[in-house]
A and B are shown apart, each in its own frame.
Chain A
Amino acid sequence: MNKLEQEILALLKTNARIASSDIARLVKSDEKAVNKIISKLEKSGIIVKYATIINDEKTPEFKDTVRALIEVQVQPQKNTGFDAIAKRICNYDNVVDHYLISGRYDFLIIVEGSSLQDISQFVSEKLAPIDHVKSTTTHFMMKKYKQDGMIFENTSELSRLAVSA
């Protein structure tokens, strides 16, 4: 990726709704060129999607949402390694994140559900019975402090001196 592409990507990463005209001014380019680069990044799959970071705790529906982090140990398979098993797991809609990691276990997945029972049911009926899944450890999430670089804590607006030399 060239420098201009990287710069545009960095701006979109912090604000997906920034207007192309603003990007053009910030990177000293023209809007047409910026749009061209963005569609190239979209087509090549570098930009996957424009999502929104939401602080669920502030939504009225939050009390109906439960999130869990699940460690999964699996037996990798000949030829496909972890990938075939991973595919079976991450196809579930309630699996919101899925990573292969090093260490004591293999997959770290984040699952969303409407209640503890909902998630327990998913683990016992869907996840654990998958072939080659050896064990699971479920950690229910209690509070989210930071996501994708955003801190959720209520910080008071710091104000600078309105006029200073």
Chain B
Amino acid sequence: MRYPFSKKLETIPPSGIRRFFDLVLTSEDVISLGVGEPDFVTPWQIREAAIFALEKGYTSYTSNQGLPELRLAICDYVKERFGVQYHRDHETMVTVGVSEGVDITLRALLNPGDEVILPEPTYVCYDPLVKLAGGRVISVDTSKSGFIPDPKAIEKAITPKTKAIILCSPNNPTGRVIPKSILLKISKLALKHDIWVISDEVYAEILFKGKYTSFAALPHMKERTILLSGLSKAWAMTGWRIGYICAPEEVISRALKIHQYAILCAPIASQMAAIEALRHARKPIKQMAHSYLQRRDLFVDSLNDIGLDTFTPEGAFYCFPSIQKTGLSSEEFAIQLLEKERLAVVPGSVFGKGGEGYIRCCYASEIGELKEALKRFKRFLL
């Protein structure tokens, strides 16, 4: 074998997060603000539903698309919360987390050389998955426009090869929420240039002000939006791996083709738990979201007090302090912070263009721990 491995894969660098993760693992006594998940355990009623399902002997495959009852629960939920009606059988499917949704959506859409516009900094999976699907990433730096994508910059990036744009709002890593007025402008561009909008809305329920606007709810957008979401964040169900796609039938049918060969179906006990979550566990998600709001206020205000300039995020459970004053790169900052103070954060540079000069802190931690982290930050900055 002259070259035994995928050449396409070789062009993708290993995840910056992974590298940092290994470093954190070898240090002791670390307080980590580098996590990407809630600090809550899944509400008991949801766990109980999964246990009950197992007791009843639900251990088989489900339909590739996901349990019809779960798809109906998803459609009802999306209709009720975001005002968009999807068809249970033709326009919805259950995925193994949103990550799978991103992957199969991109593989369903892209031909070699197709361009995908990616406002960055953003979650780390989009860029490599576009490349693995044969596409080209056209990054648009949002740091100059307060981490909200600038429609003018997006329009500049559009070429005849542009197939799609990926939005993630509330955003990981910044916690920013794209205002409706900007979403509307982006929707007009999508219409004008005939491009798909892949909208990752997994943090929609963790919103601190106002009402969430789903991209699919904008005029004429349902037919060109691929709405990706899941239960990981709002319901504190990261380990269950349940996500979903709501999209036009022609997208679902194609994504499903990949899903049925690669995945077969999402785990049945997780699907049963998700039905309980969507149907009967709205109160716990509100309580959890409120607790993130309180901790955001405590943490972000305190960061500003100790001299780390941090804008106030409108959603998710991350904040994105600027470390430019220190003169260090975000990776140097994160490594020194870990070595000197045993405090882990994620360097902004791993989130793509515009992330350099910032660090991502997750404040979904117990208050005592957040206060200890602030103490360590303060000492580090002296």
Q: Are A and B physically bound partners?
A: yes
Cα A25 to Cα B301 with chains together (Å) = 7
Given known contacts A22-B371, A25-B302, A158-B41, A163 and B17 CB-to-CB distance under 8 angstroms: yes
Residue B69 CB within 8 A of the other chain? no
Residue B244 CB within 8 A of the other chain? no
Which one of B124, B298, B344 contacts A25 once the chains associate, using CB atoms below 8 Å?
B298
Residue B37 CB within 8 A of the other chain? yes
- Residue ID in chain A nearest B20 by CB atoms: A163
Given known contacts A22-B371, A25-B302, A158-B41, A163 and B297 CB-to-CB distance under 8 angstroms: no
A5-27 contacts to B, CB under 8 A, are 7, 11, 15, 18, 22, 25-27
Q: Are A163 and B21 in contact (CB under 8 A)?
A: yes
Which one of B15, B25, B39 contacts A162 once the chains associate, using CB atoms below 8 Å?
B25
Q: How many residues of B contact A (CB 8 A)?
A: 29
Q: Are B21 and A22 in contact (CB under 8 A)?
A: no
Residue of B24, B41, B123, B294 with highest tally of chain A CB at under 10 A: B294
Q: Are A164 and B39 in contact (CB under 8 A)?
A: no
Residue A104 CB within 8 A of the other chain? no
Q: Are A162 and B34 in contact (CB under 8 A)?
A: yes
Contacts of A22 in B (CB 8 A): 298, 367, 371
Given known contacts A22-B298, A26-B294, A164 and B34 CB-to-CB distance under 8 angstroms: yes
Cα A163 to Cα B294 with chains together (Å) = 23
B78-128 contacts to A, CB under 8 A, are 123-125
Given known contacts A22-B371, A25-B302, A27-B297, A163 and B41 CB-to-CB distance under 8 angstroms: no
Q: Are B294 and A165 in contact (CB under 8 A)?
A: no
Q: Are A163 and B367 in contact (CB under 8 A)?
A: no
- Residue ID in chain A nearest B37 by CB atoms: A160
Q: How many residues of A contact B (CB 8 A)?
A: 16
Q: Are A163 and B298 in contact (CB under 8 A)?
A: no
Residue A49 CB within 8 A of the other chain? no
Which one of A18, A27, A164 contacts B21 once the chains associate, using CB atoms below 8 Å?
A164
Q: Are A164 and B35 in contact (CB under 8 A)?
A: yes
Residue of A15, A26, A28, A165 with highest tally of chain B CB at under 10 A: A165
Contacts of A158 in B (CB 8 A): 41
Contacts of B125 in A (CB 8 A): 165
Residue A142 CB within 8 A of the other chain? no
Contacts of B350 in A (CB 8 A): 165
A26-B298, A161-B21, A165-B125 provided; 7 other pairs, C-beta below 8 A? A15-B367, A25-B301, A26-B297, A26-B367, A27-B297, A160-B32, A164-B34
Q: List 13 A-B contacts (CB under 8 A).
A: A22-B298, A22-B367, A27-B294, A160-B32, A160-B37, A162-B32, A163-B17, A163-B21, A163-B24, A163-B32, A165-B15, A165-B125, A165-B350
| B interface residue numbers (CB < 8 A to A) | 15, 17, 20-21, 24-25, 30, 32, 34-37, 39, 41, 123-125, 172, 294-295, 297-298, 301-302, 344, 346, 350, 367, 371
